[in-house]
Amino acid sequence: MKWGSKFSPEYVNRLYAMVSRNMASKFRFVCFTENSEGIRSEVEIQDLPELELPAGSPERGWRKLTVFKENFGGLSGTTLFLDLDVVIVGKLDVFFSQPGDFLIAHDKKNSNNREGNSSVFRFEIGKYAHILNYFEKNSEQVKNELRHEQAYLSREIDKLGKLEYWPDNWVPSFKYQCCPSWLKSWFIAPSVPLGAKIILFHGLPNPPEAILGRSGKWYRHIQPSPWIKDYWTTNE
């Protein structure tokens, strides 16, 4: 999904290229957006779905829940959702063969909680429409209870006994698993953990900043990660 001006079309184009390089099976790559300008022709474009919220209520990322609409985009079957700012460094076919009904990355910022990071999750189209329906009818209540959509999504899937995580080494967080500890960060650059397939970039930095060694926070030091450019490219 792409909306607003936070991410340029290049993020979509790079993501498509990374998926193409790392999928042996045939796949359908769909971008839901209100502005398709600059997006490469191989990407299937569909209109950005509307989130039914009270007038004046800020969206703040909750729009991602619209993937749970019944007959979402006319799609069906097993679907892998990817955030635009992930960096794919390994083969992806295993994300479709891994056993489980609903799989999501474990949020490493709150690793003791049963909460997923929705940068990478797999689900069946139309199977969890009630999660979106409940939120649209009770959005203010849910927002008072929980900070963001991934916390709500995790809670509701967990209620069904379906919440399962990808193997940790498949989906490392750049901040928490690629970057060395604070003291070591002055001498050692971030690196790709063994077994990694999709590196998650949540909060700051995004891939362009990480390449240059800009953490986005005055209290966090990181060295440049030029290796990201080898993966985060539009070349197929």
At 185 the three-state DSSP class reads helix
- Whether residue 56 has pLDDT greater than 70: no
- Average confidence (pLDDT) over 171-200: 93
Asked, for residue 164, whether it belongs to a domain, the answer is yes
Q: What is the predicted pLDDT for the residue at 218?
A: 75
Give the separation between CA 3 and CA 45, rounded to whole angstroms: 13
Residue 206 within any structural domain of the chain:
no
Give the torsion sign (CA, 78, 91, 63, 103). positive
pLDDT band at 182 (very low <50, low <70, confident <90, very high): confident
What mean pLDDT is predicted for residues 190-219?
A: 92
Residue 229 belongs to a domain: no
Proportion of the chain above pLDDT 90, given as a percent: 77
Averaged pLDDT of the chain = 92
**Angle subtended at Cα 82 by Cα 221 and Cα 60, rounded to the nearest 5 degrees:** 75
Number of domains in the chain: 1
User: 88, 90, 113, 89: which is closest to 165 by C-alpha?
Assistant: 113
Contact 104, 120 (CB under 8 A): yes
pLDDT digits (tens, 9 = 90+) for 92-151: 999 999 999 999 999 877 777 889 999 999 999 999 999 999 999 998 899 899 988 999
pLDDT grade for 59, boundaries at 50, 70 and 90: low
Grade residue 90 by pLDDT with cuts at 50, 70 and 90: very high
Q: Is residue 67 part of a domain?
A: yes
Q: Are 22 and 199 in contact (CB under 8 A)?
A: no
197 is a domain residue: no
**How far, in Å, CA of 128 to CA of 119, rounded?**
18
Asked if residue 215 belongs to a domain, the reply is: no
d(CA 123, CA 34): 24
CB 95 within 8 Å of CB 121: no
- Domain span at residue 132 reads 9-169
Q: Is residue 196 part of a domain?
A: no
Task: Tell me the whole-structure pTM to 2 decimals.
Answer: 0.93
Instruction: Centre a 10 Å sphere on the Cβ of residue 30 and count the other Cβ atoms it contains.
Output: 16
How far apart (Å, rounded) are the C-alpha atoms in residues 73 and 179?
37
Between 113 and 10, the more confident residue is 10
Residue 82 belongs to domain with CATH number:
3.90.550.10
Confidence band, pLDDT 50/70/90 cuts, at residue 183: confident
Residue 192 included in any domain: no
Q: Are residues 89 and 227 in contact, defined by beta-carbon separation less than 8 angstroms?
A: no
Measure the CA–CA gap between 43 and 233, rounded to whole angstroms. Answer: 16
